């Protein structure tokens, strides 16, 4: 599964980072980002999710106030 965030829609409440801190984090700009190997993924960059984290990512997506978390199964 791949995940990405569209920061244009992020409300900055940080719930995704609370629910799944291994995948999501808040940046200094007050918006949520997907973590990648080098820190934060760029806006819209699709990042592979470890299978063990998929359920937590889907939970964060379902609870996201900004509806800005996207996932794909490819």
Q: Report whether pLDDT(33) > 80.
A: yes
Predicted TM-score of the model (pTM): 0.93
Query: Residue 33's domain is classified under what CATH number?
Result: 3.30.70.20
12-26 pLDDT tens trace: 999 999 999 999 999
Q: Report whether pLDDT(46) > 90.
A: yes
CB under 8 Å to 55, separation ≥6 — which residues? none
Q: How many domains does the chain have?
A: 1
CA 25 to each of CA 10, 52, 74: distance values in angstroms, whole numbers, following the listed order: 12, 18, 23
pLDDT at 43: 85
Domain span at residue 47 reads 2-72
């Amino acid at each position: 599964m791949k995940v990405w965030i569209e920061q244009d829609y992020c409300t900055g409440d940080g719930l995704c980072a609370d629910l799944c801190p291994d995948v999501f984090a808040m940046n200094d700009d007050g918006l949520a980002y997907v973590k990648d190997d080098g820190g934060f993924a760029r806006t819209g960059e699709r990042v592979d999710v470890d299978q063990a984290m998929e359920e937590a990512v889907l939970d964060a997506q379902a609870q996201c106030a900004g509806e800005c978390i996207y996932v794909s199964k490819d």
